[in-house]
Structure 1
Amino acid sequence: MKQAVIFDLDGTLADTLSSIAFFANRALTQCGYEQIPLEEYRYLVGNGAKRLVHGMLARVGDDTPEAFDKVSPLYNDGYDADSLYLTKPYDGILTLLHALKQRGVKIGVLSNKPDRTTQKIVKALFGDVVDACRGQQDGTPRKPDPAGVFLLLDELSVSPDDCLYVGDTKTDMQTGKAAGIFTVGVTWGFRDREELEEHHANAIISSPEELIAYL
């Protein structure tokens, strides 16, 4: 049986899309730009806050250093101050996490979201059920670089062979594979099954309880 599961956060454990879109659009309007439709954020998120803001500005036609310097702090500060707004665990996630703990499986979370915000969301939504958690930190490359995975594996004291990596995007599938971990794609998140298949997920599930079969 696997000894650990490392989860992505946004689109995998927690439905954060409406929250991210709210603070992103607020930052845009504060700087005089048009808002971006909620559904478009499905393809803007997943690669960290810097990439998100650049993507937003490209969408509104002004991805310049000057625009980035205005919008980025407004988004980051606003989101960090109230990161639980419109955020909730996906249905069945809490039940899954407790079922894993009952089986003695360790739980890690790895996100491209800034570490401070990641830690606050994970602590508030999942409490002590998560054993190790990392967001984006200076000095550690973002996913799909596997550096963050290896740090979590060390913290959890498990090997890649003894772990599952679970996420909802191609970035997650690339991350898990780069670390030599069996990847499980989820279809309830921000992207579709086709993206997961194209990036060679080892398994694809459509509800949290299906993960148990892959332990």
Structure 2
Amino acid sequence: MTQISPDRFPFAIVGFDLDGTLLDTSGDLAAAVNHALSSAGRPTLTTDQVRPMIGGGSRHMLAQGMAATGGCSEEELDVLQRRLLDYYEANIAVETRPFPGCLDALDTLAGMGVRLAVVTNKLEGLARTLLDALHLSARFDTIIGGDTMGPGRGKPAPDPVLAMVERCGGGTAAFVGDSIYDVRSAQAAGLPVVACSFGFLQQPVETLGADAVIDGYDDLIPTLRTLGARP
């Protein structure tokens, strides 16, 4: 791989959301949701139905699935979330794969000396288990989950993105995600944010308020260069 001086790239750190940004986890997450729904005697959902429910963590995703099939109490949600998580952990990387071009983009950034990070609302333990299963963990300087910072401090709070910058040693940083949680968290932390139109969108990508939008990983590095050149 050709080594490029990091002086020519505007960001010392680039952080990524996980589900719908780095990885297409929709098939495995839909299977976990449907396992929980079936155990409660509910009809199952298609992957396309589950996809826009992803991004706010497992409880939020399951609550939307339950709402779509008749609603539930908080007590029932407690029980079913545990079933969902147990099933998901046991079947975490059956269908999950990186999005096209993702690994090449990570290689290029790393070759320029950029420090890479994951900031997700997935539980940290599950995020690490998934990245380990795909042999990707070593690519990242830090992995921050929805529970890492404590209750109520996952995205869209700025806390995990600020912690990402600190853990990566400080410096100029940008964030890449696919949801309003990603955009709000990054902007609250004072970072430019790139939205992925190929992600698990809960709303039209142009309404997220990101600084830029990419349609694929081939667009990422040129887009980050453009953002870094803005005054």
The TM tier, using the shorter chain, reads over 0.9
1:37-69 deviation line (CA, Å, top 9, x unaligned): 221112211101111121111111132123213
Whether 2:216 is the aligned partner of 1:207: answer yes
In structure 1, list runs of 5 or more residues that go unmatched. Answer: none
1:158 is matched with 170
Once the two structures are TM-superposed, the CA of residue 70 in structure 1 deviates from its matched residue by: 2.7
Once the two structures are TM-superposed, the CA of residue 210 in structure 1 deviates from its matched residue by: 1.4
Give, in whole Å, the separation in 1 of the partners of 2:220 and 2:187: 18
2:198 is matched with 188
TM-score (norm 1): 0.93
1:118-137 deviation line (CA, Å, top 9, x unaligned): 11112333131111111121
Given that 1:57 and 1:67 are in contact with CA atoms closer than 8 Å, whether structure 2 keeps it comes out as no
Give, in whole Å, the separation in 2 of the partners of 1:144 and 1:66: 25
Given that 1:187 and 1:206 are in contact with CA atoms closer than 8 Å, whether structure 2 keeps it comes out as yes
Whether 2:202 is the aligned partner of 1:175: answer no
The one of 109, 114, 119 equivalent to 2:128 is 119
2:154 is matched with 142
Whether 2:93 is the aligned partner of 1:84: answer yes
Whether 2:142 is the aligned partner of 1:132: answer yes
Paired-residue identity, %: 29
Count of residue pairs brought into register by the alignment: 212
1:29 is matched with 38
Partner SS state of residue 108, structure 1: strand
In structure 2, list runs of 5 or more residues that go unmatched. Answer: 1-9, 226-231
1:79-134 deviation line (CA, Å, top 9, x unaligned): 11221121111111111111110000000001101111011112333131111111
The one of 96, 109, 114 equivalent to 2:118 is 109
- Aligned AA (2:191): I
Partner SS state of residue 145, structure 1: coil
TM-score (norm 2): 0.87
